[in-house]
Chain A
């Protein structure tokens, strides 16, 4: 496996571990069809809040996660690689997925940006919620 593919794979696994720890239920990893490619698809059940006040109601959200991994930041941050074109692609893939699976509920698109040290240990892992709003 070429190094950048390995780094990507490593980043996705790190992101998966992080999401599981945060209480997300992973549905798909590396979902890939002829039409769409999504790094992680997961579900999160959380309390519905209304005007910042928590209610007893529960709601399940479908969360699409785009994982960006880089070794070192000196050539640009992983956030920089999420340009308009990529965001548009991610949005289209998410739309395709929910249409294909017949999902009717709320959904959200997140990004997880990981910066690794040269020895592949984690320098930082940032979770950006709701990157397309």
Chain B
């Protein structure tokens, strides 16, 4: 007796259909074999399936069972095939037919219940694209799959429930999508109004958030670099619909959606420690997994103590910074993960940290400083749009301002301006595939950033004086565009460009 149960395999963010073919032979010694390039987790599923079926009070057939996963040359991994295999075996014992245009996915527990399984969202996207109507997924994973409209997602709690549904005894009702509120996570650690002084740095943060620009902060220890970065999530705009789908895809592939979770609507803020490995940061492994930079897609990657990161990691980020995606090639497969993130880096100017301090004396020799600053390579610095020096706050001034902190601008207010600027960009790039000013390519800069002769003259003079590279020149225009957007101005005015030039890559003239 031959039974076919359709399921899917996820290779990176790509999804392909996998047919689970189950043959129950009357001849031969009873047994259970799985073929079709299955990894250890799939091969172990026979024990889970056998025990779960017995726990569901159904006789496990005393037949020679052979399971084939077609196409046989694609490696299958994970525990997601427990449910299709179990349903196939049950259909032969209890005599029901597998419903048409349906996909099955889920991991079984020994007691016959189903566990939260990764990849349900990717399967829903696949189902929508290829015209599948019904999805049977574990109850905990049903909500994320239901985010895709136009398909029926059946939340399955146990094997007993699914066979009763398929036998027509007791129906399971399709789940209705419910957006989970992320408000608890939405709060940043600090509010911008808690940060005293540092007005220029706060302004730079606002510009970065509004245009998706990369930013580096250089300053002495204790001047508030980390605090500024931690306050950034509070002013980030929420993800729009397309972006939300992109981020949820990555999270679904990496299994980071919690049980009962829904679409990711919050911009991610990832801050890996500098001891992170190369593969952990950019992604990889023999079966390529997304790294921190992909998980920070459309969000923020905050690298504190940027100089302490190994050279190899910094250089590996060059290509994703430019292209917004990362192709991971391994012997068995090649995967492309999107990695369009905002890089926020912070660094000290020298080993002791006080090279830029107005009062303290630096105890480092010039050689030491040069060596320390060399750790961040030029090409990386050149790819960062906004460079700011974070000067230590004068504690005297601090005292006087303590009462005034409520007059400082709150994150929520800055966020509104940022959202408005993003909205302008969305309208501007409605026909393009990009979302923010920082993603503009040269021809798009030409179209959307018309410079008046005054502005062009300032830029020309600045680039002559500061020896700006061609890339920096273009970046200045992009930053000026964002500043103009924040100002709600259609044209880039002289003051916009003048402000943008303040954030130019600086030589270490302060050292």
Report whether chain A binds chain B.
yes
Is A33 in the interface zone, CB < 8 Å from B? no
Cβ-closest chain B residue relative to A80:
B30
- Scoring B residues 22 to 43 as 1 if CB is less than 8 Å from chain A, else 0, what string do you get? 0000111110000000000000
A129 CB contacts on chain B under 8 angstroms: 26-28
Residue of A nearest to B26 (CB): A129
Please indicate the chain A residues that have their CB under 8 angstroms from the CB of B26 in the complex: 129
Task: State the Cβ distance, A79 to closest chain B Cβ, in Å.
Answer: 5
Q: Shortest beta-carbon distance, B353 to chain A, in Å?
A: 67
- Check A111–B62 contact: CB distance below 8 A: no
Question: Smallest CB–CB gap between A74 and chain B, Å?
Answer: 14
- Is A59 close to B, CB under 8 A? no
Task: Give a binary string over A96-133; 1 marks a CB under 8 Å from any B CB, 0 the rest.
Answer: 00000000000000010000000000000010111101
Contact with A along B318-339 (1 / 0, CB 8 A): 0000000000000000000000
Q: Does A42 contact B (CB under 8 A)?
A: no
Q: Total contacts A to B, CB within 8 angstroms? A: 21
What's the nearest-Cβ distance from chain B to residue A108, in Å? 10
Instruction: Please report the C-alpha to C-alpha distance between residue A129 and residue B63 in the assembled complex, in whole angstroms.
Output: 11
In the bound assembly, the distance between CA atoms of A57 and B267 in angstroms comes to 76
Inter-subunit contact B29/A82 (CB<8 Å):
yes
Partner of A130, one of B28, B30, B62: B28
Contacts of B29 in A (CB 8 A): 79, 82, 87, 111, 128, 131
Q: A82 CA to B62 CA in the complex, in Å?
A: 14
**For residue B30, which residues in chain A have a CB less than 8 angstroms away from its CB?**
79, 128
- Give the contacting residue for B28; candidates A77, A126, A128; CB below 8 A: A128
In the bound complex, do residue B62 and residue A79 qualify as a contact, i.e. CB atoms below 8 Å apart?
yes
Interchain CA distance A87-B62 in the complex, whole Å: 18
Q: Give A46-96 interface residues, CB cut-off 8 Å to B.
A: 77, 79, 82, 87
C-alpha gap A130/B29 in the complex (Å): 8
Q: Shortest Cβ distance from B421 into chain A, in angstroms?
A: 70
Chain B contacts for A82, CB-based, 8 A: 29
Q: Using Cβ atoms and an 8 Å threshold, which residues of chain B touch A126?
A: 62
B interface footprint on A25-51 (CB within 8 Å = 1, 0 otherwise): 000000000000000000000000000
Residue of B nearest to A87 (CB): B29
- Within the complex, the shortest CB–CB distance from A48 to chain B, in Å, comes to 17
Nearest CB in chain A to that of B63: its residue: A128
What's the Cα separation between A82 and B64 when bound, in Å?
Answer: 14
What chain B residues lie within 8 Å of A77 (beta carbons)? 62
Chain A residues near B62 (CB-CB < 8 A): 77, 79, 126
Interchain nearest-CB distance for A115 vs B (Å): 11
15 extra A-B contacts, CB within 8 A, seeds A128-B30, A130-B27: A77-B62, A79-B29, A79-B30, A79-B62, A87-B29, A111-B29, A128-B28, A128-B29, A129-B26, A129-B28, A130-B28, A131-B28, A131-B29, A133-B27, A133-B28
Task: Show 17 residue pairs from A and B whose CB-CB distance is below 8 angstroms, ordered by the A residue.
Answer: A77-B62, A79-B29, A79-B30, A79-B62, A82-B29, A111-B29, A128-B27, A128-B28, A128-B29, A128-B30, A129-B26, A129-B27, A129-B28, A130-B27, A130-B28, A131-B28, A131-B29
The 9 A-B pairs of least Cβ separation, nearest first, read A131-B29, A129-B27, A130-B27, A79-B30, A128-B29, A130-B28, A131-B28, A82-B29, A133-B28
Please give the residue numbers on chain B whose beta carbons come within 8 Å of chain A beta carbons, in ascending order.
Answer: 26-30, 62
Report which A residues bind B (CB closer than 8 A).
77, 79, 82, 87, 111, 126, 128-131, 133
